[in-house]
């Protein structure tokens, strides 16, 4: 049975296996916001992978190593870069969003992303907010005010850290 709440350990497992297999991706959604320090919980990890057949094959291999059952149909969806792939039968819940609402391209999102703790490639907080706003689901509308307040708080800190721009030398 899958662990139904996203945890830092799940993030570590994903990052380690995806790095080992050369997968290009970013944490996005609420799991990405949590890596920025957003004090909330979520039920799954949300990933924004680069859409290419090669990356899809690397994702399939990494998922197998993580313990997800990857059959021919799932592998085909990954290689094709199907817009949304939801996995609920593995060691934890995982959503692969190849075309997140509100974000034009993976390359653009990657140029604004941060590498958090030296190993977690995470979409910028502004991209996460933009995507949640564009998705316009009820649960996202409920979270948005808190997420926007959190982003404003980070910008107001004495360190001057803006969660959106790329930190020097920290490109994922």
> How high does pLDDT run on average in the chain?
91
pLDDT, residue 5, reads 86
d(C-alpha 114, C-alpha 87), whole Å: 25
The alpha carbon dihedral of 107, 29, 146, 154 has a sign of: negative
pLDDT band, residue 72 (cuts 50/70/90)? very high
Domain boundaries, the chain: 8-156
Question: How much is the pTM?
Answer: 0.89
When pLDDT is averaged across residues 98-119 and rounded to a whole number, the result is 96
Domain range 8-156, CATH architecture: 2-Layer Sandwich (3.30)
pLDDT band at 159 (very low <50, low <70, confident <90, very high): low
10-62, pLDDT tens digit by residue?
Answer: 999 999 999 999 999 999 999 999 999 999 999 999 999 999 999 999 999 99
Q: How confident is the model at residue 161 (pLDDT cuts 50, 70, 90)?
A: low
Which residues, other chains included, contact 155 with Cβ-Cβ below 8 Å and sequence gap of 6+? 161, 162, 163
């Amino acid at each position: 049975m899958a662990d139904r709440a996203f945890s830092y350990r799940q993030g570590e497992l994903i990052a380690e296996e995806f790095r080992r297999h050369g997968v290009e991706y970013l944490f996005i959604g609420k799991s990405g916001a949590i890596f920025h320090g957003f004090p909330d919980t979520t039920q799954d990890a949300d990933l924004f992978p680069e859409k290419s057949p090669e990356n899809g094959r690397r994702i399939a291999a990494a998922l197998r190593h993580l313990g997800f059952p990857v059959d021919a149909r799932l592998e085909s969806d990954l290689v094709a870069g199907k817009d949304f792939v939801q996995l609920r039968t593995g060691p934890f819940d995982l959503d692969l969003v190849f075309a997140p609402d509100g974000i034009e391209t993976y390359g653009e999102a990657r140029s604004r992303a941060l590498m958090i703790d030296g190993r977690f490639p995470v979409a910028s907080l502004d991209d996460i907010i933009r995507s949640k706003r564009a998705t316009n689901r009820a649960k996202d509308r409920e979270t948005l005010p808190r997420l926007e307040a959190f982003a404003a708080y980070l910008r107001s800190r004495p360190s001057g850290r803006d969660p959106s721009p790329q930190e020097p030398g920290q490109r994922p």
